[in-house]
Amino acid sequence: MVKIAVIDYDMGNLHSVCKALERVGAQPWVTDQGTDLIQAQGVVLPGVGAFDPAMANLTSRGLVEPIRQVTAQGKPFLGICLGLQLLFEGSEEGQSPGLGILRGHVRRFPQEAGLAIPHMGWNQLEVLPDQGPLWRNLPAAPWVYFVHSYYVEPQDPGVRSALVKYGQHLVTAAVSQGPLSAVQFHPEKSSRVGLQILANFVSHIPQVCPKPCA
């Protein structure tokens, strides 16, 4: 059974994420210890809340460098919602620098007539061509569940793996770079499609740990 570290920094819906991972055959364990990220077979960074407090909590728990280390080493990694945004260099939501693993910034949806902020509810993805295993065995234009007021704007458009249209805005819904993937939506709240995405993530994690699993 694949052992996945789910990062606890007081900003994530940990219970729902762990239950969804269990349903697709993984063994999640919640941790705020950087050494656990090194030992895990895969890592998930969930997130709900604001950018600056999230970065402050990651920093105070000594998790910033371990996250950078495991992503640099190519460990399978999945960011969810705020966990996607934190991978970038910074956000219009606050002043703190992000993890800087991906180049680019987080932007706020502009105020427009008829455009509710946050973007909340079900919406359809446009999965870009020739994407990796995270997107296999999904229907065309799959429906997933969003709750966000900010979206990522990568410096390199080539890291985008899926888009979503909200109002007149076509924005990044997911990114991937090697074994690192991250999604703006909540797969744990996205019914069968979300579970399939998590199953895809889990099924492509190597079964051998780089170090003995905890």
- Point out the catalytic residue in the list 15, 18, 186, 209: 186
203 vs 212: CA distance, rounded Å: 20
For residue 105, what is the DSSP state? E
Q: Strand locations in the chain, DSSP E?
A: 3-7, 27-31, 42-45, 77-80, 90-91, 104-108, 119-127, 143-148, 150-154, 160-166, 169-177, 180-183
- Point out the catalytic residue in the list 81, 93, 119, 148: 81
Q: Are 170 and 177 in contact (CB under 8 A)?
A: no
For residue 186, indicate whether it is catalytic.
yes
Structure tokens at 162: 């899926």
For residue 213, indicate whether it is catalytic.
no
For residue 15, indicate whether it is catalytic.
no
For residue 24, what is the DSSP state? T
- Point out the catalytic residue in the list 18, 93, 148, 188: 188
Residues designated catalytic: 81, 186, 188
